[in-house]
Structure 1
Amino acid sequence: MTHHIVIGAGLAGAAAAYSLTARGEDVTVLERHTPANDRGSSHGSARIFRYAYPDRLYTELVVRARELWDDLEAKSGTELITRTGAVDFGDTRHTDLLAEIFEDVGVEHEVLDQARAAERWPQFAFDTEVLWHPDAGVIDAETTVTTMLDRAMDTGRARVLTDWTVTEVARRSAGGFSVTSATGKSVEGDRVIVAAGGWLPDLLGDLDLPEGFVDALPKFEVRQEQAFHMPYRDADADGRPSTPWPTFIHKSGEMFTYGLPGGRDAGFAGQKFAQFNGGKVIGSALEQDGQITDEMRTRMIDYAKRYLPGLVPEPYAETTCLFTNTPNEDFVIDEVDGLVIVSACSGHGAKFAPLLGEFAADLATGAGDVPDRFRVGAATT
């Protein structure tokens, strides 16, 4: 039986382990800290699940991913996505294009003018018509990671090694790979899947990748995002809102803001929102400092005062998160000589997690393929 080594125990790595063990494959997961830790991109209990993309491919992939989410929830008996619905608005959000794609793909939706939208969601101040799709929601990222890893380990085919920092991936003369840690320990396997997120830029030189493949990779940009939780005005004694809040995407001019009901880690007592790709650029996850800037805090308070009248514009919780971006925000999912890269999900990968695991497993086992747009190897042939 083939032994696979997965580097990284965030959403993508956990999904890869889950998918591989479900196929009867053996897996060792190597995690430099702990699964879904707060130094990566998969921590916490609030990530957006939505279908709205101005690109039909991604909307179709969300539909495929949702089927896998449903299967995982059914098999684990654990709710991982809380249905809230989503609103999209703003003069550069192109809701007409989103609605056209929804119509073609078969995603339930509704377009409302400003007056009707304001009547339905008085907690927002909309500046354009609004696209509503009710099947969107909030993903509990941390619970998803632990659920997928637990399911993988329950098969008896997976193990997870924590506090295991990878320093080298070397090809063995007899075939397969040897992966070495900072403490000198090593693990051997037939295939390697790299799902390192914000640590990928630092790992690239240690992966024994062909030079042509490395040259064909897009430039990776790691950002330290800043998110803010602000309390609901109509909160009950526990801080929960009496009026249900959807997730939202608002694009107006150059400002791209996203928000969602805050999860367990912020007491469910407010809306979590941030400027998309508004954080500072860092070289890799190793350079993050977890600091919130006064400039961004002021910017988001001003945003709340203008567009979110249903919130008290005073942050009660703040957090940072890593986005690892490609220039066009497409994913990088490819295989070369037994090594698979599933990373650089550009801040919108959480909703695809179980599908990313399927793609990784398909490439590692040779059982399937991924969309050509996500592969870089074609440029080397």
Structure 2
Amino acid sequence: MEETAAQVEEAVGIAVVGAGLMGAATARALARRGHGVALFERHGPGHGLGSSHGSARIVRRAYADARHVRLTGRAMELWRATEEESGRALLRMTGGVDHGGADVGAIASALDGEGVPYEALTPAEAERRWPGARFEGRVLFHPEAGTVDPEGAVWAFIELARRDGCAFHPRTAVLGISLRGDHAVLTTSAGTVRADRVVVAAGAWASDLLEGPDPVVPLPRLTVTQQQVFHFPRRALAGDAPTIIHHRDPLTYSLSGGRDGGPGDGRKIAEFLDPLGPPVTPDNRSGVVDPRARERVTAYVREWLPGLAPEPFNEATCLYTATPDEEFVLDRSGPVVVCSPCSGHGAKYAPLIGELTADLAEGGDPGDPSFALDAPRG
């Protein structure tokens, strides 16, 4: 599947830096449109050092912002198309539950406004439907939710991109980007590449590439933090139980943690803290789970998910790259396109992000002013 590391090239049409979910989706969209594309990844596809690894991320329509409800609808259609074109089963639709605080009412209003179906339940009704979970406050169940397999999606996007002519260069680090007139020059670990346009979808590495000693594009403030997730064995909670987002402090979410729904797949649980944690870099992150987070999540399981055994059988870390307003950065400056759909909620949008970023590379606008490089971000 993989090609050898890139050799010195004189020129490519569009270089894409980063083969995580967003870069791979962008390469796929551009190659399908007939562009000459080279996709560079400093590690191997699906590596565990960034933000696109593991077996499950949440997909859902439930947002308090009607704009994002509409975007998730477009993304869901594109996920289905990706499954059909690649022959890979990527989505596992279990439905999703939001419960707890005031945000749940705002979500209901946004879903109503966009005509997205949901059910309103009492906590007692929800607990009868899903034994092994406890609920509080207002409870919403929305069927257009579930999980996506991020590693499988990365491979699907890369396979489709290569089918349409994209050159894929794993284990080829882009060490620097410079501007020469109306094109970009990439210094890679295998040589120098000239590109008519370059898409930087490098996640936690984006700031180093674009705002290093010789800045290329001014970015909004991007904060990289190390987050942790935990997997707990199931005792009574069904393997096809919905994703659950508990609107509390800290916001806590859980989802089926495996690809097949079998008895060994457990339940993946994590917190969304505010603030997200101390800043790190991809090079100085510890990779060590914070024992305080383990204690908090284990206590949460005891109280709210009694259908799980309250001892994690697996734990892992990943990187969040966040903007101050938790919105994406999708914009173009000269020959450089910045693709940073970050802040911990970008995975569900991946095929749509690929299409929007391809539009930018072709000379379009960001599509949404809140995604622009110079958007006010609080």
In the superposition, the TM-score normalised over structure 1's length comes to: 0.90
Any idea what the Cα deviations from partners look like across 1:296-341, whole Å, max 9, x if unmatched?
A: 1111110000110110000001111111011110001110001000
1:191 aligns with 2:197: yes
Q: Distance in 2 between matches of 1:58 and 1:34?
A: 31
Q: Distance in 2 between matches of 1:266 and 1:287?
A: 35
1:164 equivalent among 168, 172, 184: 172
Q: Distance in 2 between matches of 1:195 and 1:65?
A: 18
Q: Distance in 2 between matches of 1:265 and 1:39?
A: 24
The number of residues matched between the two structures is: 364
1:201 aligns with 2:211: no
Distance change >3 Å, CA 265–CA 72, structure 1 → 2? closer
Quick check: 1:282–1:288 contact (8 Å CA) kept in 2? no
Partner-residue secondary structure (3-state), 2:283? helix
Q: 70-79 vs 142-151, which deviates more?
A: 70-79
1:309 aligns with 2:306: yes
Q: 164-173 vs 101-110, which deviates more?
A: 164-173
Q: 276-285 vs 22-31, which deviates more?
A: 276-285
2:91 equivalent among 81, 86, 89: 81
1:346 aligns with 2:343: yes
Quick check: 2:331–2:338 contact (8 Å CA) kept in 1? yes
1:50 equivalent among 29, 41, 60: 60
In structure 1, the residue matched to 2:323 is 326
Aligned partner letter, 1:99? A
Quick check: 1:26–1:158 contact (8 Å CA) kept in 2? yes
Distance change >3 Å, CA 202–CA 138, structure 1 → 2? same
1:260 aligns with 2:255: yes
1:148 aligns with 2:145: no
In structure 1, the residue matched to 2:43 is 33
Aligned partner letter, 1:245? A
Q: Distance in 2 between matches of 1:323 and 1:51?
A: 21
Q: Distance in 1 between matches of 2:214 and 2:337?
A: 12
State the 1:378 CA deviation. Answer: 6.5
Q: Distance in 1 between matches of 2:105 and 2:51?
A: 31
Unaligned runs of 5+ in 2: 1-10
State the 1:205 CA deviation. Answer: 2.3
State the 1:119 CA deviation. Answer: 1.1
Percent of paired sites with the same residue: 41
Q: Distance in 1 between matches of 2:136 and 2:88?
A: 38
Q: Distance in 1 between matches of 2:207 and 2:176?
A: 13
Q: Distance in 2 between matches of 1:116 and 1:233?
A: 21
Distance change >3 Å, CA 199–CA 369, structure 1 → 2? closer
Q: Distance in 1 between matches of 2:87 and 2:288?
A: 37
Partner-residue secondary structure (3-state), 2:211? helix
In structure 2, the residue matched to 1:219 is 221
Quick check: 1:45–1:141 contact (8 Å CA) kept in 2? yes
2:357 equivalent among 360, 364, 376: 360
- Higher helix proportion, which one? 1
1:113 aligns with 2:122: yes
In structure 1, the residue matched to 2:101 is 91
Partner-residue secondary structure (3-state), 1:281? coil
Partner-residue secondary structure (3-state), 1:142? helix
Q: Distance in 2 between matches of 1:87 and 1:250?
A: 8
Q: Distance in 2 between matches of 1:88 and 1:230?
A: 20
State the 1:344 CA deviation. Answer: 4.7
Aligned partner letter, 1:255? P
State the 1:264 CA deviation. Answer: 4.0
Q: 70-79 vs 138-147, which deviates more?
A: 70-79
Name the Cα RMSD after superposition: 2.1
Distance change >3 Å, CA 260–CA 114, structure 1 → 2? same
Quick check: 1:229–1:266 contact (8 Å CA) kept in 2? no
Quick check: 2:240–2:261 contact (8 Å CA) kept in 1? no
In structure 1, the residue matched to 2:78 is 68
1:248 equivalent among 240, 244, 254: 244
In structure 2, the residue matched to 1:237 is none
